[in-house]
Homo-oligomer: A and B are copies of this chain.
């Protein structure tokens, strides 16, 4: 059991745990056991059940957690670290405690700041991926996109997060396809790359968003868009609208699952943006390993 520990990303809808040996991933658990599905106050019991087989095999392993588990609705609320923040700042704001079965445990704080558009902004979990990206691909400067329900666009200088902005891209796509008139009474949807790229192109022409999305209806009425391609088109519209805020000459990283980052790279290609993919799990693991070493006072 030398050097074994557990890295956890516990979000609102999903739970992901990685059994680690030093900086290497040994095994993993994916469950739809996000905070919303945890019975009131039952975080310890839920976690013990989820990790049962690893704890039986390895004993009371150290557990390092990030994500919404540290929010008001989570297990223990951990105050946000204000920007700018680096690994040392996040480590010093980390909450340490011991679980009911005796594992040493830590919850990493999220980060808050003012977005590039002067709005207050928050994240929980993505700050760990950003540290991991900087560790895996060292550079003086990073611009990183972390796509998802609430996509984040972040800037880093020498491994320090200096600013970030949230875009509700994934959630807005769900609202439009599941609940709006644009998504009503559609036949089964097909993956349509041409419709996706038409959406990206349309979004990149700079129309206001609440006007732009109506084109999913009018292009369908005009016969320019098939009834089975509305989701693809709306995906292109929402991702294209998000990417439009990136400066054209700026190289950026897109960090996430291979399927999602490939989608963003396809859109970026159409918009002449330079985007490199990084695996979100790799970034998460490396970021958390980096923080775990800081917490223990050992070099990573």
Contact = CB atoms under 8 A, between A and B. Distances in A.
Contacts of A150: 214
A219 B120 contact: yes
A118 B205 contact: yes
A207 B112 CA distance: 18
B119 A210 contact: no
Nearest to A170: B210
A255 to B, nearest CB: 18
A181 B206 CA distance: 26
Interface in A226-259: 238, 241-242, 244-245
Contacts of A122: 217-218, 221
Contact of A218 (B119, B215, B218, B224): B119
B117 A212 contact: yes
Given A112-B218, A118-B207, A175-B176, 17 more contacts: A115-B211, A117-B207, A119-B211, A119-B212, A119-B218, A120-B218, A120-B222, A120-B224, A122-B217, A122-B218, A166-B211, A166-B214, A168-B210, A171-B181, A175-B175, A210-B242, A211-B245
